[in-house]
């Protein structure tokens, strides 16, 4: 029964993600105080996703660094320059909005990409490696990128980022991979089908709670806000295509392609919002926060597309006379 529920939830993710965003914004008053639950829910989802991996697969991902290098170049070179160019074309003279668009693209990859890659049957070990390496490097890469493209130096709370990473990704991933390797894959065969539906439900809860944070920024809707939303959506949507294109350019396999698509397309929007609000004028935060509104919706669109085109059911082969 749980497996049937999981299958239905996977098919419904393109609707669950945007619905969760809307619910989060509408009921922000009641959901915002629940933000303390997000790390725990996310740790649970990470644990479930890591059950398909083990230490051997993690070592294999790190020992073949080309996909990781491609992801880092896409995240911190191609996409920031793309956002800078689009920003100057769309909002020439509005340095605040342009800065916000750049910040939204220089921040590290989103931890949620791990969950989407797991659901899309991508390379979980590679995705985990990208998240770990990118987040560890982000305290150095992000301030440098902002300084070069924007002209203002910022400092990032290294320990707060690292502490969140350890609790939400590192520890539950190690536990999941250890259980897989220790039981030779037998325990995941039992746990994964039973826990996967709760992972989808947990993702919806995380989206709702995080979306409740952006409600105050949407109280005054005008033409400029709509224009910013359209540009943010375009840049974020194209990020997945560019990441997929980089994977095709070097000829990676299907699982790696899925991992690069989500890792290169998603961002740690929460970290970006903190940077924008703390170190820049309030208008800078608007594009970053709007990115939070679209991120899971775009991920669900690509998740549906990948499921349709990468995981087609085998066509039955019929022989003459049967």
Inter-residue contact 273 to 291 (CB < 8 Å): no
DSSP annotation string for 135-148? HHHHHHHHHHHHHH
Q: Quick one: CA dihedral 155, 159, 163, 169, positive or negative?
A: positive
Average pLDDT of the chain to the nearest whole number: 81
Domain spans, the chain? 2-309
pTM metric for this prediction: 0.75
For residue range 97-144, what is the model confidence (pLDDT) as tens digits? 998 999 899 888 887 788 888 888 888 888 888 887 887 777 778 878
Q: Identify which of 294, 142, 241, 94 has the alpha carbon closest to the alpha carbon of residue 86.
A: 94
Tokens for 144, please give them: 């440098």
Q: Which secondary structure element, helix H or strand E, spans residue 282, and what is its range?
A: helix 282-309
What's the whole-number mean pLDDT along residues 152-160? 60
Higher pLDDT, 37 or 13: 37
Q: Quick one: CA dihedral 311, 238, 139, 37, positive or negative?
A: negative
For residue range 41-69, what is the model confidence (pLDDT) as tens digits? 888 887 887 787 778 777 777 788 899 99
CA 66 to chain centre: 20
CA 145 to chain centre: 20
* CATH architecture of the domain with residue range 2-309: Up-down Bundle (1.20)
Inter-residue contact 13 to 262 (CB < 8 Å): no
DSSP annotation string for 233-261? HHHHHHHHHHHHHHHHHHT--HHHHHHHH
Helix then strand count (H, E) for the chain reads 16, 0
pLDDT of residue 118: 83
Is pLDDT of 3 > 80?
no
Is pLDDT of 153 > 60?
no
Q: What is the 3-state secondary structure (H, E, C) of 1-60?
A: CHHHHHHHHHHHHHHHHHHHHHHHHHCHHHHHHHHHHHHHHHHHHHHHHHCCCCHHHHHH
pLDDT of residue 321: 45
Inter-residue contact 127 to 247 (CB < 8 Å): no
pLDDT of residue 74: 93
Residue the block writes with tokens 């039992």: 190
Inter-residue contact 281 to 244 (CB < 8 Å): no
pLDDT of residue 243: 92
Q: Identify which of 73, 63, 80 has the alpha carbon closest to the alpha carbon of residue 246.
A: 73
Higher pLDDT, 277 or 295: 295
For residue range 253-263, what is the model confidence (pLDDT) as tens digits? 899 999 999 99
Distance separating alpha carbons of residues 273 and 211, to the nearest angstrom = 12
For residue range 101-110, what is the model confidence (pLDDT) as tens digits? 998 998 888 8
pLDDT of residue 158: 59
Q: Identify which of 251, 203, 254 has the alpha carbon closest to the alpha carbon of residue 18.
A: 203
Tokens for 32, please give them: 């915002």
pLDDT of residue 77: 92
CA 237 to chain centre: 12
Inter-residue contact 75 to 262 (CB < 8 Å): no
pLDDT of residue 14: 67
pLDDT of residue 318: 41
Distance separating alpha carbons of residues 308 and 302, to the nearest angstrom = 10
For residue range 183-241, what is the model confidence (pLDDT) as tens digits? 887 887 788 778 778 888 888 888 788 778 777 776 677 898 899 999 999 999 999 99
> What's the pLDDT band for 317 if we cut at 50, 70, 90?
very low
For residue range 260-273, what is the model confidence (pLDDT) as tens digits? 999 999 988 767 77
Q: Identify which of 247, 271, 17, 235 has the alpha carbon closest to the alpha carbon of residue 131.
A: 271
Distance separating alpha carbons of residues 49 and 46, to the nearest angstrom = 5
Is pLDDT of 17 > 80?
no
pLDDT of residue 157: 61
What DSSP character marks residue 93?
A: T
């Amino acid at each position: 029964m749980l497996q049937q529920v999981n299958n239905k939830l996977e098919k419904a993710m393109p609707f669950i993600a945007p619905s969760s965003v809307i619910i989060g914004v509408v009921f922000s008053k009641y959901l915002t105080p629940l933000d303390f639950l997000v790390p725990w829910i996310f740790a649970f989802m990470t644990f479930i996703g890591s059950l398909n991996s083990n230490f051997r697969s993690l070592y294999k991902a790190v020992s073949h660094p080309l996909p990781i290098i491609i992801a880092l170049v896409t995240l911190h070179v191609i996409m920031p320059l793309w956002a800078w160019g689009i920003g100057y074309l769309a909002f020439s003279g509005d340095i605040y909005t342009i800065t916000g668009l750049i910040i939204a693209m220089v921040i590290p990859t989103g931890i949620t990409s791990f969950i989407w890659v797991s659901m899309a049957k991508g390379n979980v070990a590679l995705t985990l490696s990208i998240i770990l390496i990118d987040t560890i490097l982000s305290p150095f890469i992000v301030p440098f990128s902002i300084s070069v493209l924007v002209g203002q130096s910022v400092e990032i709370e290294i320990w707060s980022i690292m502490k969140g990473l350890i609790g939400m990704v590192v520890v539950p991933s190690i536990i999941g991979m250890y259980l897989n390797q220790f039981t030779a894959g037998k325990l995941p065969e039992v746990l994964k089908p039973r826990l996967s539906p709760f992972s989808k439900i947990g993702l919806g809860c995380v989206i709702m709670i995080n979306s409740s944070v952006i409600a105050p920024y949407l109280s005054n809707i005008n033409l400029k806000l709509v224009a910013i939303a359209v540009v943010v959506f375009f840049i974020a949507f194209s990020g997945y295509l560019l990441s997929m294109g980089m994977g095709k350019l070097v000829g990676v396999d299907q699982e790696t392609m899925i991992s690069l698509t989500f890792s290169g397309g998603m961002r740690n929007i929460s970290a970006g919002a903190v940077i924008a609000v703390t170190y820049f004028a309030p208008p800078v935060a608007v594009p970053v926060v709007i990115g939070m509104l679209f991120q899971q919706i775009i991920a669900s669109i690509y998740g549906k597309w990948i499921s349709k085109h990468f995981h087609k059911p085998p066509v039955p082969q019929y022989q003459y006379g049967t």
